[in-house]
Structure 1
Amino acid sequence: MGQEIGKTHFSDAEFGVFRHKLEDETRLFTRWIRDGRFSSRGPVTGFELEAWLVDSAMEPAPLNREFLAALNNPLASPELALFNVEFNTQPQSLTGPALSLLYGELAGLWAEATAAADRLGVQLAAIGILPTVREAVLNLSHISPMNRYHALNEQILAARGYQPLHLKISGHEHLESRHQDVMLEAATTSFQIHLQVPWEKARDYFNAALLASAPLVGVAANSPFLFGRDLWAETRIPLFEQAAEAGGYQEAAHGPLRRVSFGSDYAKSGLAELFEENLQHFPILLPLVADTAPERFAHLRLHNGTIWRWNRPLIGFDPDRTPHLRIEHRVIPAGPSLVDMIANAALFFGLTETFAQEPWAWWLPFPTARDNFYQAARHGLHAPVIDPEGEKQRLGVWLLNRLLPAAEAGLRRLALAEADIVRYLGVIEGRAASGLIGSEWQRRFIARHPGDFSALLGEYLSHQRTGEPVHRWPL
């Protein structure tokens, strides 16, 4: 979905042609997986960081076109709303000093972007949900002027029979409203990890990413407030699921298969079954017919880009044009600091490596893994979760006692630099031991300054600029 498209309206004939090509490419994908024609390269990683532009009053600043022109960097691009932007890093082999290199690249890009924002009189904010955003600004007057966003809005509303989106979230407080477009999605900004893995191990890594999702969303939670209400530790999760709510065909449209979801099950035989599920259960939203060879999987990739599993399988290409498989881990919010985000990535890499290599030791029934994920999103480190022994315990305790040692073992198996392992897992340990994650820091601030979300964001940005991890931020 990162690509621009040439139109916003489509004919019935285009839907039919696209469907035919999608079926052909799904069959080809399955055959190529069976024949081992995908890349064995990996692990290789990269990131996407979504951020906000805010003005001096701490309100969203709809200036991404001006900002991107001032920055003039191909690694930055517009997001759905005019006050959001996205930054990307180059692919990096996950070994040796990879974590330091990734931090250095991200820090360099962020410093360059901050300077460009300063020239415009605005600030950059890496935070899951901007605490000052008002529902009134989330409308089509603030949509980025790109065909793909307008077409996506139109097609999701058409799939819903043009019924308004119903937002309903119960957490510490309750929020309910109705919205006429997909711009609620613009309130959710994330730090997305891409992990390319050898095709023959892709199933195990994908399932490992599902298992890792609960601890990651719990320890990284940074989105407690929406429209002045205190909701989940990571309110981004229910907000995004409801902001693009359009299900599958006919009776499945209101069933368990959602376009934004934790998924329907583990991958059993391989990732081909996920693309088959895409074909069988999700209507086409953007039937952009491409004049490319089936081996480029253009239609398969575009259709997959309109289905937002929290762990999404992706198809890419190595420099020699060999197709490869990636896992896009989407559960982590943006922020609070750059070091926090690299620490979250380190935890993800370590856990998925250990879980993929030792699945029998960490296996949970899929409903349990899914329940753990939503409990962690709702309650953060205080979430009651079920471990592989069937015992219920608090997520923070499980992290300290079992998951951090497992992540450390995984990072050592990847032969990552010892100093980086100590540094970044130490950040996770600091959060788990103190209980001070991003959402908790925000809640404590508002407890002392009730209702002052502008002051909250100002203080947050001051600490973000220091580069210190959130568990060291004073109040």
Structure 2
Amino acid sequence: MGQEVDPQIFTREDRTAFRAKIRQSLDVFSRMLRDATFDAARPMTGVEIELNLIDVDGMPALRNEAVLEAIADDDFQTELGQFNIEINIDPRGLDGDGLSLYEKTIRDDLNHADARAQSVDAHLLMIGILPTLKPGHMTPSTISANPRYALLSEQVLAARGEDIAISISGAERLSTTSESIIPEAACTSVQLHLQVSPSDFAAYWNASQAIASTQLALGANSPFLLGKQLWHETRIPLFEQATDTRSDELKAQGVRPRVWFGERWITSIFDLFEENVRYFPALLPVLDDEDPEQVLAAGDTPSLSELRLHNGTIYRWNRPIYDVIGDRPHVRVENRVLPAGPTVIDTVANAAYYFGLVKAIVEADRPLWTQMSFSAAEENFTAAAKDGIGSSIYWPGVGTVGVTELVLRKLLPMAADGLDALGVSSADRDTYLGIIEQRCLTGRNGATWQIDRFRSLYEQAGTDRADALRAMTLDYRERMHSNEPVHTWD
């Protein structure tokens, strides 16, 4: 969820000072982009995975503090809900066996963590939205103890001035309200990080936006929320609504939402940070003692903590990241499109598809984003979230086409070329892209498996709806531990 903050009350003076400081930081960042040396010698990648906690019956386990204490590993951290934790995987290159090393590292870490979690009566589950969540889990009392979360919730509700409304129509309809941002905790995702040079950032961000719909369709894994079957990737509308600071009147005026696909192709990473400052008031106006102009003038690297903290409260599906490691600044694209799960091998296959395809599109003779409107990319994104692997989208030179046909005929060969360009071994390339190919051929991903399994339990076996969702969740957990790709699940 971002940088740590202490409990506090913000004054008008705090907000005025923060606005001045963030504008100063934006000016410093502009000068750095022009003059500084950024770390981009070797393409580095990273992975973060948000996880749910369940008990032996498949119900949410509100035990993240006890689980983290049992795991005792700094790579695991709290998330918004007491039924969430997150793991951060050490960054690495993809060349050689980088992808299979990711798979081994993630499996080993999660197996160890799950074994430790069982000592406090909890189990880890990689899934986009936990199907057994009930309204009683969506209350302020289930927010994690970390002060940042309560403070962020208070600021979102204060900016909004009324309870958060959740309204989603899919196969069924859900309409509810919340007095906190805890519904956001239901959205557990995988975040893929790709370090690039500032000069290449715009191309990688534009490419990531253009292919986000295909990622979402292939990887959809969130069809249920509070007992209702909604979109194939219900995370998308839920996250958009759960952190919306706008009243209906502000929406009508065209005020931008904080969960945002965006509204245009960009020419520089600066465009995105400048939009952050121009469009979005601070939710957490926490001031740092650093004077970025003085630090830069002294030949050192400013942390730009206000700029980074503010960026962390604007939830773009492809977010720009500025960071400093060992006094060396770098920038990266944080791809936030995918849900967690179903298995580690599926997760790495999704990563291989993204890293390979975005590389190929950036290196193409004619940029993809010059051949389609930004609004078309956004419409594709919504269509993929609604209909998942069965969706149809617009693609330049093709027209409206089924996602699976587009991926099989056009995008998978491009992703393979991109992985080759990144130095990925042929064995890794074929293994992980082969999983994506089989998903397309079978039409099965996490969302379709969940829907089919639930229907077989609820409609054919005549099980109670809540019991069917719970049994499906336990079946899912068993198959998740097999690490067999979801397209092979019975």
Q: SS in structure 2 opposite 1:380?
A: helix
Change (3 A) 1:344 1:359: farther
- After TM superposition, give the deviation of residue 3 of structure 1 in Å: 2.4
- TM normalised by structure 1 equals 0.96
Counterpart Cα distance in 2 of 1:456 and 1:252: 38
Alignment of 1:50-61 (within 5 A): 50-61=50-61
Counterpart Cα distance in 1 of 2:176 and 2:246: 20
* CA RMSD after TM alignment: 1.5
Corresponding position of 2:478: 462
Counterpart Cα distance in 1 of 2:255 and 2:178: 22
- After TM superposition, give the deviation of residue 390 of structure 1 in Å: 4.9
Q: What do the CA deviations read for 1:158-187 (whole angstroms, capped 9, x no partner)?
A: 1101x1111111111111111111000011
Q: SS in structure 2 opposite 1:90?
A: strand
Residue 375 (structure 1) aligned to one of 380, 383, 393: 383
Gaps of 5+ in 1: none
- What residue identity is the alignment partner of 2:441? A
Residue 361 (structure 2) aligned to one of 334, 355, 359: 355
Alignment of 1:268-417 (within 5 A): 269-294=267-292, 295-319=302-326, 321-358=327-364, 360=366, 362-363=368-369, 364-417=372-425
- After TM superposition, give the deviation of residue 51 of structure 1 in Å: 0.5
**Alpha carbons 1:382, 1:394 under 8 Å: kept:** yes
Corresponding position of 1:243: 242
**Matched residues, number:** 470
Q: SS in structure 2 opposite 1:89?
A: strand
Q: What do the CA deviations read for 1:42-98 (whole angstroms, capped 9, x no partner)?
A: 421111111111112211111111111110001000111111000010010232221
Counterpart Cα distance in 2 of 1:296 and 1:177: 40
Counterpart Cα distance in 2 of 1:352 and 1:256: 30
Counterpart Cα distance in 1 of 2:164 and 2:42: 40
Q: Confirm or deny that 1:145 pairs with 2:153.
A: no
Which deviates more, 293-302 or 355-364?
A: 355-364
Corresponding position of 2:299: none
- After TM superposition, give the deviation of residue 362 of structure 1 in Å: 2.6
Counterpart Cα distance in 2 of 1:159 and 1:98: 44
Gaps of 5+ in 2: 293-301, 459-464
- After TM superposition, give the deviation of residue 254 of structure 1 in Å: 5.2
Q: SS in structure 1 opposite 2:3?
A: coil
- What residue identity is the alignment partner of 2:486? V
**Alpha carbons 1:39, 1:318 under 8 Å: kept:** no
Corresponding position of 1:216: 215
Q: SS in structure 2 opposite 1:91?
A: strand
Change (3 A) 1:94 1:159: same
Q: What do the CA deviations read for 1:196-251 (whole angstroms, capped 9, x no partner)?
A: 11221111011111012011010000000111111111000000000001259x95
**Alpha carbons 2:40, 2:195 under 8 Å: kept:** no
Counterpart Cα distance in 1 of 2:181 and 2:408: 39
Change (3 A) 1:417 1:83: same
Which deviates more, 214-223 or 41-50?
A: 41-50
Corresponding position of 1:4: 4
Q: SS in structure 2 opposite 1:156?
A: helix
- After TM superposition, give the deviation of residue 256 of structure 1 in Å: 5.7
Counterpart Cα distance in 2 of 1:323 and 1:473: 44
Corresponding position of 1:262: 261
Counterpart Cα distance in 1 of 2:365 and 2:88: 31
**Alpha carbons 2:352, 2:433 under 8 Å: kept:** yes
- What residue identity is the alignment partner of 1:306? T
Q: What do the CA deviations read for 1:5-33 (whole angstroms, capped 9, x no partner)?
A: 12232111111111111000011111211
Which deviates more, 100-109 or 370-379?
A: 100-109
Identity %: 39
- After TM superposition, give the deviation of residue 336 of structure 1 in Å: 0.2
**Alpha carbons 2:231, 2:387 under 8 Å: kept:** yes
**Alpha carbons 1:8, 1:150 under 8 Å: kept:** no
Q: SS in structure 2 opposite 1:159?
A: helix
Corresponding position of 2:443: 435
Counterpart Cα distance in 2 of 1:286 and 1:113: 32
Runs of 4+ with deviation above 4 angstroms: 250-254
Counterpart Cα distance in 2 of 1:229 and 1:41: 48
Counterpart Cα distance in 2 of 1:258 and 1:43: 32
Counterpart Cα distance in 1 of 2:42 and 2:276: 25
Counterpart Cα distance in 1 of 2:442 and 2:342: 16
- After TM superposition, give the deviation of residue 150 of structure 1 in Å: 0.9
Counterpart Cα distance in 2 of 1:184 and 1:373: 21
